[in-house]
Amino acid sequence: MNSAPIAIYDSGLGGLTVWREVRRALPGESLLYLGDGKNCPYGSRPREEIVRLADEAVAALVARGCKLVVVACNTATAAAIDFLRGKYAPMPIVGMEPAVKPACLATRSGVVGVLATERSLDGDLFRRTAALYGRGIEVVTAPGRGFVELVESDREATPEAEECVRRAVEPMLERGADQIVLGCTHYPFLLPVLERIVAGRGVAIVDPSPAVARRVAELLDRYGLRAAADHVPACEFLTFADEAYRSRLELKAMGSRG
């Protein structure tokens, strides 16, 4: 038994979509969320800079006594997960796997769309996964340009958001995609817009966050890290930005609980 918190880290607000699923799956665990905020977005930054930012974030979480870290940022996972696992071993560190495998297995049309940041789409992790599971499948990719900024500024429900998402998604639909993978943890906040755009077209939207929560539960059991039965869970929110941003993280998290 270990009642230390599970840490969840993202460039900003997006990892709260993972926080929500971990909270739902493991209600007896304390959670420590770090949304960088100061350096968001990460998507087009050089790999070396992302590694440095991720290292600083994980170091801060380890200093707070966490027992497991979830890198709830696809861009940071693509750039830094191997480095982080090497530096902070033996602490379990969970990254964001591109949900290409389930989409390729489920497609009926043979066309899968992937929305992600530029850095994630250029990463070895995505390329390996797409090559392994995408044989015989057309994988159509598009960077979600402007998506992160829309979420960070609470503009998910605006006409601007609909136009931005439609611009990225329509070419996938025209090619016949019947699965669209969300390759950034910010993107599920745009799910209502996405669902309106694909309505009536038989398209499934694939969010990897529930699978990440299941992976966290598996690792807690494997390493005997579950909180004690009488543990009273707490949630704490940290940022490298200012107190106003930290408050936004907390408000958005509590508003996203389902």
Nearest CA among 254, 173, 251, 236 for reference residue 32: 236
Question: Is-contact 113 134, C-beta < 8 A?
Answer: no
Contact criterion met (CB below 8 Å) for 1 and 228: yes
> Rounded CA gap, 214 and 88, in Å?
22
d(CA 15, CA 35): 8
184 catalytic, yes or no? yes
Alpha-carbon separation of residue 4 from 52, 87, 92, 225, 237 (angstroms): 25, 20, 13, 9, 15
Active-site option among 66, 73, 104, 164:
73
**234 with 40: CB under 8 angstroms?**
no
Q: Which two tokens stand for residue 31?
A: 């959670």
**Count of residues in the chain:** 258
At 140 the three-state DSSP class reads: strand
The closest alpha carbon to 78, from 43, 105, 112, belongs to: 43
Is 73 an annotated catalytic residue?
Answer: yes
User: Looking at the annotation, which residues are catalytic?
Assistant: 73, 184
